[in-house]
Amino acid sequence: MEYLSTRDRTLRVSAAEAIKMGLSRDGGLFTPVYFPELGALDLKTMCPMNYCRRSAYVMGKYLEDFATEELRSYAESAYGGGKFDAPTVAPLRQVDENTWCLELWHGPTSAFKDMALQMLPHLLSASLRRTGEKKTACILVATSGDTGKAALEGFAGVQQTKILVFYPENGVSQIQKLQMVTQEGANVGVCAVRGNFDDAQNGVKRIFSDAAIREELAGRGYFLSSANSINWGRVMPQIVYYISAYCDLLNQGAIRLGEGINVCVPTGNFGNILACYYARRMGLPVKKLICASNRNDVLTDFIRTGVYDRNRPFHTTMSPSMDILISSNLERLLFDLSGKDDALVRDYMSRLSGTGRYEISKEMKDKLDGIFYGGFCGEEDTSAAIGKLYRGGYLIDPHTAVAAKVLADYRRETGDMTPAVFASTASPFKFCDSVLRAIGEEPAADSVERIGQLQAVTGVAAPARLAALAEKRVRFTDVTEREKMEEIVHRFLA
Ligand SMILES: *Cc1c(COP(=O)(O)O)cnc(C)c1O
């Protein structure tokens, strides 16, 4: 199958090239030319499979030139061998009679980013081989907290790659920061940026679109690549777990084959929810896609009004991985809703970078309404949702709490009680401070100590890797102005 750029549909590349390049030269995002079909028979076939098998099955539909055996071995390396602390990889936990929580954080860094970033390095290495690439991939990552660590963990020690992560100096939690600055491996680098996530992301985009830098790096044997959620190799592995969750619901007898479910996803860059939209486009019986935002409610307004307007205050919240005003992956949705109208997408994106605002056509808005519901959850409501679920016996993190609250709002507002799955994107132990407060405890002064505190108070076991953070040595202390990120890249590769 071929992939085309959202900003130039005549530009077509193979899957291997799309994954290798990350972002198209014209600034567009690579999307599949068509969505492979997922019928009732496929779902029946997948039901008895484990997660690795399901993953190879779904990805095989998008990567026709990869052998099934090859994809299975990547899936085994990514999700098998005890890397995940749940035997089913992405378990579904029943919350009440028609609500399930899809836990996506059982991987090595305790956030859902592992679901894609444990797989991406295998796909990228295979893509380098397939395209005969001899240069080393220099992977630049802007992170709002969780991507950085998951990408470092996925790429550490991977041949023919180097990875450099930029994070907003004051925009990530203490634990997230510690996870990154203690990363081991000879091919990794980490640097803080004075600014917020959008500043870091814009800096990375600026470097990507700078022809002079590209040329200079090529002369030294490097090419730039991305592990951000704009890379097709990130989106595709995420499609799998929605389909897998549907199979689990079938296996449990909770739904009948073909019965529709609703899915609620806590959203930042629009990658995770886009993957569910793609699963739906393939034929997975998803009725409503509920897009949950925190106080940075730019997507809620977009879904309700059809106007995307980033001109608004940026809020730092207790769900920092969703503190985003420019949701990059939304571009892929626009491309699909417009019937692959690349000129229109170019127009919207140039308005977005110019005035910070665009309005979609009536036709696109109608399509959007049929599929999506948008809601947001403020800080107090986030705490309240954590407290409420905890009293019901379930400890969740603030990102997950946003989804739980918006799902409840949706149901109250519409009366639609269709069986629903909400995505749980991080372990509560990644955000001990907010979680402890939400359940009525005063957090200990030291951020690592709070992990033990939360464990003691709740009786829930902390992920072993987080508990071990206190013993790790800090390796990276660099901070840069956002205008000077280029220099950091040069120094890293020197
Ligand atoms: C990245 C992240 C999100 C947002 O996911 P997107 O794909 O950017 O929408 C939500 N929760 C957590 C914990 C995350 O790490």
Residues 240 and 178 in one domain: no
The protein residue with its alpha carbon nearest to ligand 1, atom 8, reads 269
State in Å: Cα 237 to ligand 1 middle.
Answer: 15
201/315 Cα distance (integer angstroms) = 17
State in Å: Cα 10 to ligand 1 middle.
Answer: 31
CA-based nearest residue to 141, from 120, 157, 123: 120
Residues 201 and 76 in one domain: no
pLDDT per residue over 236-294, tens digit each?
999 999 999 999 999 999 999 999 999 999 999 999 999 999 999 999 999 999 999 99
* Averaged pLDDT for residues 141-154: 90
pLDDT per residue over 180-196, tens digit each?
999 999 999 999 999 98
Q: Which domain holds residue 137?
A: 2-42+115-230+476-493
End of a domain among 430, 450, 465? Answer: 430
Backbone φ and ψ of 145, nearest 5°: 140, -60
- pTM attached to this predicted model: 0.94
Residues 188 and 273 in one domain: no
Is residue 289 within 8 A of residue 44, CB to CB? The reply is no
Residues 376 and 397 in one domain: yes
Is residue 394 assigned to a domain?
yes
Residues 20 and 141 in one domain: yes
402/153 Cα distance (integer angstroms) = 27
Position in ligand 1 atom list of the atom nearest CA 397 = 13
Catalytic residue among 44, 83, 113, 388: 113
Is residue 59 assigned to a domain?
no
Is residue 446 assigned to a domain?
no
Q: Is residue 352 over pLDDT 80?
A: yes
End of a domain among 430, 445, 464? Answer: 430
Is residue 374 assigned to a domain?
yes
Residues 343 and 194 in one domain: no
Residues 77 and 193 in one domain: no
Q: Domain with 177 in it: what CATH number?
A: 3.40.50.1100
Q: Is residue 30 over pLDDT 80?
A: yes
Sort residue 82 into left (φ over 0), alpha (ψ -120 to 50) or beta.
left
Is residue 448 assigned to a domain?
no
Instruction: Give the residue, out of 114, 264, 322, with the most ligand 1 atoms within 8 A of its beta carbon, to mutate for a pocket test.
Output: 322
Residues 487 and 420 in one domain: no
139/155 Cα distance (integer angstroms) = 9
Residues 226 and 244 in one domain: no
Number of structural domains, the chain? 2
Residue 20 known to be catalytic = no
Residues 261 and 216 in one domain: no
Give the Cβ contact number of residue 12 at 10 Å.
Answer: 14
End of a domain among 430, 454, 484? Answer: 430
Q: Report residue 157's pLDDT band, with 50, 70 and 90 as the boundaries.
A: confident
CA distances from 61 to 239, 267, 361 (A): 11, 26, 32
Residues 187 and 205 in one domain: yes
Is residue 293 assigned to a domain?
yes
CA distances from 358 to 308, 333, 375 (A): 5, 14, 20
Cβ neighbours of residue 388 closer than 8 Å, sequence gap 6 or more? none
Is residue 451 assigned to a domain?
no
DSSP 446: S
Q: Is residue 4 over pLDDT 80?
A: yes
489/494 Cα distance (integer angstroms) = 9
Ligand 1, CB within 6 Å, residue ranges: 111-113, 146, 229, 266-272, 321-322, 399, 425-426
Query: H helices within 80-173, ranges in order?
Result: 113-117, 120-130, 146-155
* Averaged pLDDT for residues 77-99: 96
Is residue 97 assigned to a domain?
yes
Residues 320 and 394 in one domain: yes
